[in-house]
Chains A and B, each alone.
Chain A
């Protein structure tokens, strides 16, 4: 049995906000099945007593004095925006009509 179905891949693509064609989904479902088959072996080795490592070297909380430091100007911040207006990012509508 496949580790992952085409429908599951389609759902993941929806969650990841990537439109995919039927051909892309077919292809990716096959590849994902092979890759998951290969990486599933991580489950074989570590028991419940082994702690997880999220970061390679221990870092403590890093904080600094709350002082104003130079930062980008609004014009610089908006310089790469696909669209902007009145010193703001201009985006497509985020709510439906009604």
Chain B
């Protein structure tokens, strides 16, 4: 049993009592102590809470109680999900020190499955970004190359997996914040169908796009975690009241003979790194070998997805982030007994929000203001309809769609931080999925020849057919593993002090 094992193997070792949940948590804390000074995946470690959770699982197991499959396996939680009594900052000074008085539904489900929550992971402030450089608490570093970004906004979660600080993590994906970090760190990340996982307790950025999902090192591990966190929640009015697709069975099946897989023509070409395109094509060849039928499909309106996203997401963000008004929770600046509420609010928001958050609030305020509403927000919502129609037409012909997850491999920290538009282009292939509310997965498909860095392969499945992406992902992963002879993370340079 090693911390480099996958979660499924850890669960087996726990079940066979080869290791206790307390020992397993401690091994991960040792790894965190060794490498996180360099990686900076975590913002907070809840050692006391995690060990008491682990002890509880061990006690139940000793008593012969029936436990859920992942009981005792550790997990890293993105700092955008509330966990009762544990600091939740969303990577912002606005919420520094805030301890939520309630658990998010995802956390409630994790706890009742006996999953041990090690701590909270770093992220771009309020999940706005593609590099984790927008965190108010400093960037996270990519374990493949510490001078590079781990993706964003969930860079802390993806880096914790790639650095073997945790075998499972929770992310949230508004425009690619689970999938793009997975792509650039050689890990697996899944954005479930919108409404598939409850948003209760997920601090809102863009409510019609935000979706929590599983992050792991293998497709099966992601499926096991998906099964735990998914399902109807009356506390989320957009939660889907239908049975969760059997993603675990799909991940194990590994038979895709006769499946129709669509390559999206528009998600390639200009702006895509050569090595990314090459690895993608090699993976497509593996799917052919597995008996899938590859079809090229055209989604012409995807060209407008990025522009529409950067109106819809900022618009919803400008409204959602109005709650940070210094009155009920979080930061308050300038309350000297003389200044009025409005002035205090203004000063607090000046001091509490970082540059990217301010940029998006202002952009959203503009897009929603009278006189511009129809031209910007209204047009963007129409584009959303067109993107949905493109997906509907493509899924008439195909079971799933595929593309590279991100146009490039991990770039250098600082390389794009002064150019918002260049940064936004990272999400060009992931955004259409959020706009249509469907499912999307990223799994590693090799190392780009230019820089030896991981490339992500995206699988998109129709709404509430999440099992299909696990089916294709599981089969492709197995084929690539036998081709490589070892998991992709074994090709990464070893971190100083790592086990």
A83 with B335: CB separation less than 8 A: yes
Known contacts A16-B318, A16-B365, A17-B325: A46-B379 contact under CB 8 Å:
yes
B344 with A28: CB separation less than 8 A: no
In A33-47, which residues have CB < 8 Å from any B CB?
A: 34-36, 38-46
Q: List 17 A-B contacts (CB under 8 A).
A: A18-B353, A18-B358, A35-B359, A38-B310, A42-B379, A45-B301, A51-B385, A53-B388, A56-B384, A59-B237, A72-B102, A82-B326, A82-B331, A82-B335, A83-B335, A92-B340, A94-B341
| Cβ-closest 6 pairs across A and B | A56-B437, A46-B382, A52-B381, A80-B329, A82-B332, A76-B101
Q: How far is the CA of A65 from the CA of B153 in the complex (A)?
A: 38
Which chain A residue shows the least CB distance to B95? A80
The distance from the CB of A10 to the nearest CB of chain B, in whole angstroms, is 10
Tell me if B's interface is mostly helix, strand, loop or mixed.
helix
* B380 interface residue (CB < 8 Å to A): yes
Which chain A residue shows the least CB distance to B347? A19
Name the one of A4, A57, A80, A81 contacting B463, with C-beta atoms under 8 angstroms: A57
**Residue numbers in B under 8 Å from A44 (CB-CB):** 304
Interface bits B371-397 vs A (CB < 8 Å: 1, else 0)? 000011011111111101000000000
A19 with B365: CB separation less than 8 A: no
**How many interface residues does B have (CB within 8 Å)?**
72
A55 with B238: CB separation less than 8 A: yes
Q: How far is the CA of A80 from the CA of B95 in the complex (A)?
A: 10
A93 with B358: CB separation less than 8 A: no
A80 with B346: CB separation less than 8 A: no
* B208 interface residue (CB < 8 Å to A): yes
**Residue numbers in A under 8 Å from B327 (CB-CB):** 81-82, 89, 91
Q: How far is the CA of A32 from the CA of B362 in the complex (A)?
A: 8
A91 with B436: CB separation less than 8 A: no
Which chain A residue shows the least CB distance to B332? A82
Q: A12-B365, A52-B378, A57-B240 are in contact. List 5 more A-B contacts (CB 8 A).
A: A32-B359, A39-B307, A42-B379, A43-B379, A92-B343
A41 with B362: CB separation less than 8 A: no
**Residue numbers in A under 8 Å from B384 (CB-CB):** 52-53, 56
Interface bits A65-98 vs B (CB < 8 Å: 1, else 0)? 0000000100011011111000001011111100
**Residue numbers in A under 8 Å from B363 (CB-CB):** 32, 35-36
The distance from the CB of A82 to the nearest CB of chain B, in whole angstroms, is 4
Which chain B residue shows the least CB distance to A44? B304
In B417-436, which residues have CB < 8 Å from any A CB?
A: 420-421, 434-436
Q: How far is the CA of A95 from the CA of B100 in the complex (A)?
A: 30
B304 with A45: CB separation less than 8 A: yes
**Residue numbers in A under 8 Å from B100 (CB-CB):** 80
The distance from the CB of A46 to the nearest CB of chain B, in whole angstroms, is 3
B437 with A57: CB separation less than 8 A: yes
Known contacts A12-B365, A39-B311, A52-B382: A92-B238 contact under CB 8 Å:
no
Which chain A residue shows the least CB distance to B307? A39
Name the one of A28, A50, A77 contacting B358, with C-beta atoms under 8 angstroms: A28
**Residue numbers in B under 8 Å from A40 (CB-CB):** 307, 375-376
**Residue numbers in B under 8 Å from A42 (CB-CB):** 304, 307-308, 311, 376, 379-380, 382-383
Total A-B contacts with CB atoms under 8 angstroms apart? 178
B237 with A62: CB separation less than 8 A: yes
**Residue numbers in A under 8 Å from B337 (CB-CB):** 92
The distance from the CB of A63 to the nearest CB of chain B, in whole angstroms, is 9
Q: How far is the CA of A80 from the CA of B347 in the complex (A)?
A: 19
* B66 interface residue (CB < 8 Å to A): no
Name the one of A18, A52, A57, A62 contacting B350, with C-beta atoms under 8 angstroms: A18
* B281 interface residue (CB < 8 Å to A): no
A93 with B341: CB separation less than 8 A: yes
The distance from the CB of B202 to the nearest CB of chain A, in whole angstroms, is 16
Name the one of B347, B385, B388, B420 contacting A46, with C-beta atoms under 8 angstroms: B385
**Residue numbers in A under 8 Å from B369 (CB-CB):** 12, 15
* A20 interface residue (CB < 8 Å to B): yes
Interface bits B153-192 vs A (CB < 8 Å: 1, else 0)? 0000000000000000000000000000000000000000
A18 with B195: CB separation less than 8 A: no
* A2 interface residue (CB < 8 Å to B): no
B340 with A41: CB separation less than 8 A: no
Q: How far is the CA of A73 from the CA of B379 in the complex (A)?
A: 44
**Residue numbers in A under 8 Å from B386 (CB-CB):** 45-46, 50
Name the one of A24, A53, A54, A59 contacting B195, with C-beta atoms under 8 angstroms: A59
B330 with A80: CB separation less than 8 A: yes
**Residue numbers in A under 8 Å from B310 (CB-CB):** 35, 38-39
* B234 interface residue (CB < 8 Å to A): yes
B381 with A54: CB separation less than 8 A: yes
**Residue numbers in B under 8 Å from A72 (CB-CB):** 101-102
In B65-111, which residues have CB < 8 Å from any A CB?
A: 98-102
Q: How far is the CA of A64 from the CA of B237 in the complex (A)?
A: 11
In A8-32, which residues have CB < 8 Å from any B CB?
A: 8-9, 12-13, 15-20, 24, 28, 31-32
Known contacts A16-B349, A17-B325, A92-B341: A80-B335 contact under CB 8 Å:
no
The distance from the CB of B361 to the nearest CB of chain A, in whole angstroms, is 5
Q: How far is the CA of A95 from the CA of B240 in the complex (A)?
A: 44
The distance from the CB of B425 to the nearest CB of chain A, in whole angstroms, is 10
The distance from the CB of A92 to the nearest CB of chain B, in whole angstroms, is 4
Which chain B residue shows the least CB distance to A56? B437
Q: How far is the CA of A24 from the CA of B353 in the complex (A)?
A: 13
